[in-house]
Chains A and B, each alone.
Chain A
Amino acid sequence: MDFTFSEEQEALRASVREFLLDRYPIGRVASIADGAGFDRREWREVADLGWAGISAPETLGGTGLGFLDELVVEEELGRALYPGPFLATVVMALHALVATGAEDLAGSIVSGERIATVAWAGVDGGFDTDPPPKVSWEEDGLSGVKLFVTDLRSADLLLVVGATVAGPGLWVVDRDSRGVAWRELPTVDATRPLGEVVLEEAPASALAWPDHRLLDVLRDRALASLAVEAVGVATRALELGVEYARTREQFGKPIGAYQAVGHQLAQAFVEVETARSLAYWAGWAVAEGTPEASVAAATAKARAAQASVAACERAIQVHGGIGFTWEHPLHRYYKRALGIASIMGTGPELRRRVAGYILDSDGSADEGVRSDAEAPGPMGATSESAAL
């Protein structure tokens, strides 16, 4: 058993962090978010560093590393509130293109020439896999309405997830072709733009459908990725809270010396670190395709989002009035955390999935119960007690 990242992965983390500190300090992220938005020409830089194709096969120009390496990058991007399309184009679209054998398109994503995003949820906001939201696909093209399309403004290509009478499918649509009307949606979290697409008989090419698991895998990749991103956001927000509590003085001492303040931050640390454990577990399970991958991804996303929102809220509280201002960057972390909590399944929705797994499936969740009776310990104590 080994629950640590390799030296190569730690080196990757360090270089991503260094790049982001240099190119995307929080002040610049804030002016991108409040200004003209992410300039898609800057994506080329990320692709040139090899991070767009980090887990793509070398035959497509990728680096040939794994999903865990991708998550190392994603955690750092979350920490920096990087406003570009990594989740949309690398974690989701590129994987779908590789899995369906669309090598030319995949290659153009790896090189940074094209940016793709996935159009999945319909107007009800659900990212369902079985079946996915309805679309209509006839000779003259693809029709349907898609909302919550991440980084639509930077994308050249849309991968449309949907179900027709014939079953689930995936189509590639050129964002700027005829039959496509799209617009940006004003969002709470301006560091992650979202859009709406209305397809009316849009020219589309159907991708080869590999197997019924593809959408589950895509969803699990996104959930695990959102989980590590949330951990990155939470870690930075907690750092800001701690720095402030160390230096801000009231009643003659740093406010961090008061337990009412210190314990809030300690509790945030407990929540963030336990969420981190879940996020890495989910990343590993998804990377390895273990039977627990889906429930691990759901668990990790639910807990990491919750921990991240709570860490930001505690950091805002610790900052007092300044934490409530637009000028201070905390609200940007908070809004990203809220965004992660709301997309692709809220806490209650994900817990419903977990409950189904542990209560409705016959098998792993309740096997191995030896007996209902108490095993006395040396002291006549119960098994719960003896070790402490």
Chain B
Amino acid sequence: MDFRDNPKEAAFREVVRRWLDSNIPAGWGTPQHRMPEGTERLAFYRDWSRRLYEAGFVGMTWPKRYGGREAPVTHQAIVLEEMGRSEGPEHIGLIGIGMAGPTILAHGTEEQKDRFLRRILTGEEVWCQGFSEPGAGSDLAALQTKAERNGTAGFVVSGQKVWSSFAHIADWCILLARTDWSGAKHDGLTYFLMDMHSPGVEVRPLRQITGDAEFNEIFMDGVRIPSDRIVGEVGNGWTVAITTLMNERANVGFALLARLDIGLRRLVGLAKDTSRDGSRAADDPLIRDRLAELWMDFQAYRFTVYRAFSEFLKTGRPGPEGSVAKLFWSETNQILTKTALEIEGAYALLGAGSDRAVDGGRWQYAQLRSRGNTVEAGTSEILRNIIAERVLGLPKSR
């Protein structure tokens, strides 16, 4: 047991840190910094993603023949941690790298691997996820999007997907659709790779509680998908989808860890900088107790991520610790952002755009956004079901 970097890891961390320091655009993250809009913004992220790839920081564990680095998994963790810590721009291919890619690697054909994997890493092609539907959220297997056989040419797909990040700029979609209505609901699903530029695909942004539109709806009306764009077998989509979902939870740990670290440091700064009636929030015993709890939560999350990661190194598969970590993180982040509002007092009423708002209104935004944390990527209720049934071995509740 040793939590320190070995000499190789320390050297690699230094390389990543230096590269980020000298390559993150000047002024990035400051209030003065203005992001380009529309297509220019997209072009910026594509370019940034390619540079990350060329620097050797993307696809750390993937095979070299598909553009990966075949580096130790610890190096991937280091990249995620350092990128989170730097607060620099992210790679555009989060869904591709975290979900589509690992699934294609595990279940895809050789042709699919050659066709898609490298382009995910370089940022050349952006992916989105088409799993959830208006009537199929936690009960994902109840989905109704219909894929009908179109002779030997493939399938024709119609239906609606929701909560799809990146869909408005995506080139491809990992799509789960029903090909068989006769049997049990888990049995009739098929996993497709859908070209988002196909005729019949329409994307509409969904405005959220924060006012932003991170997510989209995807409408499909008679979209043709050829047979060689199926992952796994027809009717075997559920098994393939589980790979995607397990990777979703396993991959975010280190990135969220770095963000929670930053959030907590900022919260400590806020408590030190906020005074009322001549005394600092950081000197109020009740606030101090809350901050101590949050710091302890952060360390608990940190070392649980490390433990999950060590298990992953040993077994080669993401384990149930990922569900524990995600559940714990989401609730911690909600308490953290709520604490910021309590420290701000009446200033918590002011949103972005007010020159009186504390830190440009970031905490108010972050607090609203945090309500999504216990819903996205598996609701807390579903995660508790997973822990109860798959980890503790309790009987199924349904």
Contact, CB under 8 Å: A354 / B292: yes
A270 within 8 A of B: yes
The smallest beta-carbon distance between A75 and chain B, in angstroms, is 13
Report chain A residues within 8 Å CB of B385.
259, 262-263, 266
Instruction: List the B side residues contacting A277 at CB < 8 Å.
Output: 300, 302-304, 306-307
Considering only residues 234-275 of chain A, those with a C-beta below 8 Å from chain B are 242, 245-246, 253-254, 256-259, 262-263, 265-267, 269-270, 273-275
Q: Which of A258, A302, A355 contacts B397 (CB 8 A)?
A: A258
Contact between B292 and A242, CB atoms less than 8 A apart: no
**B373 partner residues in chain A, CB cutoff 8 A:** 388
Pairwise interchain contact B393-A387, C-beta atoms closer than 8 A: no
Are A270 and B35 in contact (CB-based, < 8 A)?
no
A303 touches B262 (CB 8 A): no
8 A Cβ contacts from B10-36 to A: 28-31, 33, 35
Q: Which residue of the partner chain A has the closest CB to B34?
A: A376
Interface string of B161-188 (1 = CB under 8 A from A): 0000110010000000000000000000
A242 close to B392 (CB less than 8 A): yes
A352 to chain B: which residues have CB within 8 Å?
Answer: 288-289, 292
* Category for how many chain B residues contact A: 35 or more
B259 pairs with A370, CB closer than 8 A = no
Does residue B266 face the partner (Cβ distance < 8 Å to A)? yes
1/0 contact trace for B206-225 toward A, CB 8 Å? 00000011100000000000
Interface pick from A14-22, A114-122, A377-385: A377-385
User: What is the size category of the interface that chain A forms with chain B?
Assistant: 35 or more
| Chain A residues whose CB sits within 8 angstroms of the CB of B387 once the complex forms | 266, 269-270
List chain B residues, Cβ under 8 A from A4: 1, 310-311, 314
Complex interface: stretch among A154-162, A175-183, A278-286, A335-343: A278-286
CB distance from B210 to the nearest CB of A (A): 8
* Cβ contact within 8 Å between B87 and A370: yes
B132 at the interface (CB under 8 A from A): no
- Shortest B342–chain A CB gap in Å is 16
Known: A278-B299, A355-B289. A3 touches B388 (CB 8 A): no
Complexed CA–CA distance, A262 and B390 (Å)? 12
Instruction: Flag whether A386 is at the interface (Cβ < 8 A).
Output: yes
Task: With both chains docked as a complex, state the minimum distance between the C-beta of A219 and any C-beta of chain B, in angstroms.
Answer: 18
A68 within 8 A of B: yes
Q: Return chain B residues, CB-CB under 8 Å to A276.
A: 307
Tell me how far the C-beta of B379 lies from the nearest C-beta in chain A, rounded to whole angstroms: 12
Question: Most chain-A Cβ atoms within 10 A of its Cβ — which of B77, B268, B395?
Answer: B395
User: Which B residues touch A351, using CB under 8 A?
Assistant: 289, 292-293, 296
Tell me, yes or no, whether A211 is within 8 Å of chain B by CB.
no
In the complex, whether A59 has a CB less than 8 A from a CB of chain B is: no
Distance in angstroms between the alpha carbons of A256 and B396 in the assembled complex: 8
B393 near A274 (CB under 8 angstroms)?
A: no
Let me know if A303 and B296 touch, CB within 8 A.
Answer: yes
On whether the beta carbons of A359 and B265 are closer than 8 Å, the reply is no
Instruction: Give the nearest-CB partner of A273 in chain B.
Output: B324
Chain A residues lying within 8 Å of B35, measured Cβ to Cβ, are 376, 380
Closest to A278 in B: B300
List the B side residues contacting A358 at CB < 8 Å: 268, 291-292, 295
As a 0/1 sequence over residues 76 to 97 of chain B, the CB contacts with chain A under 8 angstroms (1 = contact) are 0100000001111110101000
The verdict on B119 contacting chain A, using a C-beta distance below 8 Å, is no
Give every chain A residue within 8 A of B104 (Cβ-Cβ).
Answer: none
Closest residue of chain A to B33 (Cβ to Cβ) is A373
A377 CB contact (under 8 Å) in B90, B366, B395: B90
CB of B339, distance to nearest CB on chain A (Å):
13
CB distance from A314 to the nearest CB of B (A): 12
A281 touches B295 (CB 8 A): no
Q: How far is the CA of A375 from the CA of B328 in the complex (A)?
A: 24
In the complex, A42 has a CB within 8 A of chain B: no
Q: Which chain B residues border A245 with CB–CB below 8 Å? A: 394
A278→B321 contact, CB < 8 A: no
Bound CA–CA A246/B310 (angstroms): 30
Chain A residues contacting B327 (CB-CB under 8 Å) are 270
Complex interface: chain B residues within 8 A of A274 (CB): 300-301, 304, 324, 328
Give 28 CB contacts A-B under 8 Å. Answer: A1-B4, A2-B313, A257-B396, A259-B384, A262-B394, A265-B388, A265-B392, A266-B388, A270-B324, A274-B300, A275-B300, A277-B302, A280-B1, A281-B3, A284-B2, A351-B289, A352-B292, A359-B282, A370-B86, A371-B87, A372-B362, A378-B92, A380-B35, A381-B212, A384-B259, A385-B214, A386-B214, A388-B377
Binding site for A on B (CB under 8 A): 1-5, 9, 28-31, 33, 35, 41, 45, 74, 77, 85-90, 92, 94, 98, 165-166, 169, 212-214, 252, 255-256, 259, 262-263, 265-266, 268-269, 271-272, 282, 288-289, 291-293, 295-296, 299-304, 306-307, 309-311, 313-314, 321, 324, 327-328, 333, 359-360, 362, 365-366, 369-370, 372-373, 376-377, 381, 384-385, 387-389, 391-397
- A-B contact sample (10 more), CB < 8 A, given A2-B2, A280-B307, A299-B299: A242-B392, A242-B394, A262-B385, A263-B385, A266-B388, A277-B300, A281-B3, A354-B296, A383-B262, A384-B263
